[in-house]
Amino acid sequence: MRSATVLSATLVVTLTLPLATTADVYTVVPEGGGDFTDIPTGMRTIGTDDTLLVAPGTYVVDPTLPPPGDWPILFQYEGCPALMSMTGAEATIIQGDGTTPAFTTPPTRGYPIDVRIVGFTISDTSEPVECGGLVTFLFTDNIVEENGYGLNAYDSVGLIARNVFRNNGGPGIWIYHCQAIIEQNEICYNEIGIEGFCCEEPLIRNNHVHHNSGHGIRTGFSCQADSNLVEHNAEYGFALGGSAELTRNVIRWNGDGVRLPTYGTTVSIHLNDIYGNTGQNLVAGADPGGPTPALDATDNWWGTTDPDEIAAGIWDCNDDPDVMWCVLFDPWCDVPGCEAIAVEPASWGAIKALYR
């Protein structure tokens, strides 16, 4: 065991795990020479707010092992131990058996749990984290690939940043009841990039969401999306099911660009580049007999300055009287680059302050 105060500053800065100066740091080295030789034993032995620092290697998820070395690893307290690799995700792999989650939280409880995982490749699990809700995430700098399901961020807050989610079944990130900040991730080749059906209010920014076989980003309630690159998704770039604020995104080369909600809500679409989508750039849903509100979609770049061409790429009440929305797109941007306003990444201190 080593004091956190003597941990290499390079590791802390590179992988951005906040370590309390009074906490302890323990090591996992499979061949010996550390405090533990396997991750589960270490996580179940060290104290709350301690950190388990893991050496490079492949760690196999094996639910048949006897405790305390068995999987999945249970996160069950606020201030749970943090799990961090020594050298990053490319060299530190948690390899599943195809049937078992790597990590889990208790399904029924009335208190929050910290899940802090930094710098691993998590592959071939049923899902990386089987989430029972009320979770504060610090999930950064990981590679999540070839799992039955991507990251379950159900009923969560916190920070999900700088990860790669690829080739997972279902959504890369599931955001039902999620208020987390989701930023600077690459989310690709999943069934859906980011998805939630109800009550989510995430901040989704600076992500690259591409080549998913369904939608890029699908939300059911509320979404604030800023400065994302959403492209080459087979269905919609954004499929909105509720209130949304889309700002400074590039939404291009998808099946359709943006699908609007089919019931009365608040939608704001400004300063985006929305162009080159195979079907329509903007699609309003049918709502026979319902209201037909105006949607302010001004100040976007639509791939052209010709108003007739812009209108042709928007399916709204002008095309079908049963469609809910009448889209207002004038004035528009004359050149691409409406999205090009820098957004600063969130600091962990700022994230924690939101939920105190």
Q: Which of 150, 154, 224 is nearest to 190 (CA)?
A: 150
- Looking at residue 13, what is its pLDDT? 35
**Structural domains counted in the chain:** 2
β-pair type (314-315, 273-275): unpaired
CB atoms within 10 A of CB 139: 27
- Looking at residue 247, what is its pLDDT? 96
Q: Do 185 and 140 fall within a single domain?
A: no
SS3 (DSSP) at 308: helix
For residue 223, what is the domain's CATH number?
Answer: 2.160.20.10
Q: Do 296 and 194 fall within a single domain?
A: yes
Q: Do 193 and 325 fall within a single domain?
A: yes
Domain boundary among 100, 125, 148: 148
- Looking at residue 323, what is its pLDDT? 84
> For 135-191, what is each residue's pLDDT tens digit?
999 999 999 999 999 999 999 999 999 999 999 999 999 999 999 999 999 999 999
- Could you tell me the CA-to-CA distances from 237 to 20, 25, 131, 305 in Å, in that order? 40, 43, 26, 22
The label of the residue with tokens 């998913």 reads: 212
Domain boundary among 127, 148, 169: 148
Q: Do 293 and 271 fall within a single domain?
A: yes
List, as one string, the DSSP characters of 39-90: HHHHHHHSPTT-EEEE-SEEEE--TTSPTTS-SSEEP-STTPPEEEESS-GG
- Looking at residue 223, what is its pLDDT? 87
Q: Do 202 and 346 fall within a single domain?
A: yes
Q: Do 93 and 198 fall within a single domain?
A: no
Q: Do 160 and 140 fall within a single domain?
A: no
Q: Do 33 and 108 fall within a single domain?
A: yes
- Could you tell me the CA-to-CA distances from 238 to 18, 63, 217 in Å, in that order? 33, 38, 5
Q: Which of 233, 144, 142 is nearest to 192 (CA)?
A: 233
For the sheet containing 250-252, what is the strand order?
57-60, 92-95, 121-123, 143-145, 164-166, 186-188, 208-210, 229-231, 250-252, 273-275
Residue 110, domain extent: 1-148
Domain boundary among 148, 166, 195: 148
Low-confidence ranges of the chain (pLDDT < 70): 1-22, 264, 287-291, 339-356
